[in-house]
A and B are shown apart, each in its own frame.
Chain A
Amino acid sequence: MSDDRAETNNKKDDVTTSRRDFLKNIGIAGASTLMAGSASAGVPADSPDPDAESTAAEWLQGHFVLMSEEDKKEAINRLEKRYTAKYDKKTTVANTPPLEGVLFGYALNIGKCIGCRRCVHACVQENNQSRTNPVIHWIQVMKIPKGNFAFTADKLNDGYPKSSAFGDYGVQVGGNAYAPVGGLATEHAQSYYSADEMVPDKDYFYVPVQCQQCEKPPCVKACPVRATFRDPNGVVVIDYNWCIGCRMCQLACPYQARRFNWGEPNLPPEEMNPKTHYFGNRPRMRGVMEKCTFCVQRTREGRNPACLEACPVGARKFGNLLDPESDVRKILATKKVFRFKEEMSTYPKFFYYIG
């Protein structure tokens, strides 16, 4: 944190730069003492510990979108250096810009999904989630009963209120067909079915749920600092360095798609994926929110998301909603498509279909 760098920053007219400088003027030493746990002692201006210095600089970093190009480059270099040292492998943190003329959409065939949870673990492999304590999965697979109507005909008169304390009315108003019948009624869903189970179970069907990338995301509305926002490709992303961990977005999300780093994430270096994106799968820190980004580090470079590639039955389809030739658009045109919890008017770009 030398003075000359502060000078170069002063030349720029960017708003956030001046914010940063303001904070710098408060003094790095004072600022870093504020940091909980991460930098235990005050870091003097020319600290011998490079990690502490980069932590301090990261702490002072503004909202990434509002930073100047130069500051972004600096922030990314800082991260690459830190990750490379921490995980002992050459790590790249991309800042690939959003694509022109692309609106990402996802379609999932619940008629085909077998509930094998490979997508869940593919996502974990790709996106550097915490493996233990907390265990973080961005995808949750619901197992929903198809319904059981095995009651016999003599019970057809069962129901409520066949008769009451005030007498038998003789007019039937109830029935007994109370079996849950699939659909997306989540009240009978099982999310913790065992790994020893063979799937698919013929009496159930399976619905994987991940971030639905809503067009009108309640989480973005709820975030007090705009750390989460919708990018021009329609994907809701998070600036992990700007998130304050208040979990209002988690409270707002009707899909339970957001996951919180309750503790310091545990990511074994040998399993770490070194190809990362600033808004995507770069290793997170304690106390910030994370969620599916449609593998922003892959999709902005043209490749399919990891969950799609793992699906052994081809139930997952991804593409550009603005391209009529894309898989997703063709599915929207020819199949029976619906959105999950449509009544929430979130307008997801994640579609479920049958057929």
Chain B
Amino acid sequence: MKPQIAPTTVIIVLALFAVVAGGLALVGGLDTQKAKSTAVEEQAKATDAQPVTDCFESRVAYTAVTRTENIVPQYGYPNIKCSPKTSGVLWYGDPFDGTIPMGEMPEVTDATRGDFVNAVVKPREPRLTYFNMGPDGCATCHNGTMVVFPKDKKPRLITMHQDIVANSLQLQHGRGAIWCLDCHSATNRNKLVDRQGREFSFNQPQRLCGSCHGEVYIDWREGIHGKRIGAWATGGKKRWWVCTECHNPHTVQTNRFNPINAELPPPPPKGMKNADHERVGQNEH
């Protein structure tokens, strides 16, 4: 009464092999592994190189900073660590390295008052090219004799400092509403000046900028706009970024933000040779 089922054993054995073979077919594994390891090596190479010493914080060239070793001896920290790919500053060993107190800020009593108790900034003056060309800053040349003080604020063609503003008759900032001498003091070139004639140091550009850009200035004072590092607590010691550390005051419209290079992406997930599929159909923008 028992029927013959001789092939059944064979079928089970074959079935197991089928699982193995079916799996192997979809592995394609070995060369994917290779692709992954090259990506890994690339990243390894990037990190193995000597630490980058000449770096920038926000704006290329205008916020240059140099890496110094062993600023925090307890941990052997340098002041900064930079990206070997872009030389952008990635990490602060000491967030207050090279800073000075922010200086006097106007007293505001309403809810938009800032938290300036322990505010420090990185001084702008040492980072300005022309400012550091002589012992007296800009006044080394703009002293009234070597370069005479201008008589009025009327725009005229200037044949100097074209690297800052290419054509002084087409100053972008303010779209023709203002001109150089609305912000730079005509008689004291080491200082900035606002429309009421108050003079500010180059280290405190926010007080000048804030006289026109009030809304942004309020956000900045409250800590919403702009960058601050150091302590997170209200009243803690913070390093504030001032306006000109991120914004170029002369070419504000065209170079709202100068594109910079991105840092390295993560390698594609294991088993993937690349991530090209995520870009399909998105290149026609």
Contacts and interface: CB of A to CB of B under 8 A. Distances in A.
Contacts of B275: 190-192
B192 to A, nearest CB: 22
Contacts of A257: none
Interface residues of A, number: 67
A314 B241 CA distance: 9
B32 to A, nearest CB: 14
B285 interface: yes
Interface residues of B, number: 58
A326 B90 CA distance: 24
Contacts of A117: 262-265
A323 B234 contact: yes
A57 interface: no
A117 B89 CA distance: 12
A268 B47 contact: yes
Contact of A310 (B41, B89, B236): B89
B194 interface: no
Given A200-B259, A327-B223, A125 B231 contact: no
Interface in B212-266: 219, 222-234, 236, 241, 246, 257, 259-266
A302 B233 CA distance: 7
A126 B81 CA distance: 10
A326 B278 contact: no
Contacts of B263: 116-118, 120-121, 195
A330 B91 contact: no
B95 interface: yes
Contacts of B222: 327, 330
A131 B259 contact: no
A140 B261 CA distance: 17
A122 interface: yes
A132 B95 contact: no
B43 interface: yes
Interface of B: 37, 40-41, 43-44, 47-48, 57-58, 75-76, 81, 83, 85-86, 88-92, 95, 115, 219, 222-234, 236, 241, 246, 257, 259-268, 270, 274-275, 278-279, 282, 284-285
Given A121-B263, A268-B47, 4 more contacts: A116-B88, A304-B95, A304-B230, A327-B232
Interface of A: 89-90, 92, 114-118, 120-122, 125-126, 131-133, 135, 137, 140, 145, 148, 150, 188-201, 203, 262, 268, 271, 273-275, 299, 302-304, 306, 308-314, 317-320, 323, 325-327, 330-331, 334-335
8 contacts: A116-B262, A118-B90, A302-B231, A302-B236, A303-B231, A303-B232, A312-B88, A331-B224
Which A-B residue pairs are the 9 nearest by beta carbons? Answer: A314-B227, A192-B275, A117-B263, A198-B259, A327-B223, A203-B285, A309-B229, A125-B91, A325-B234
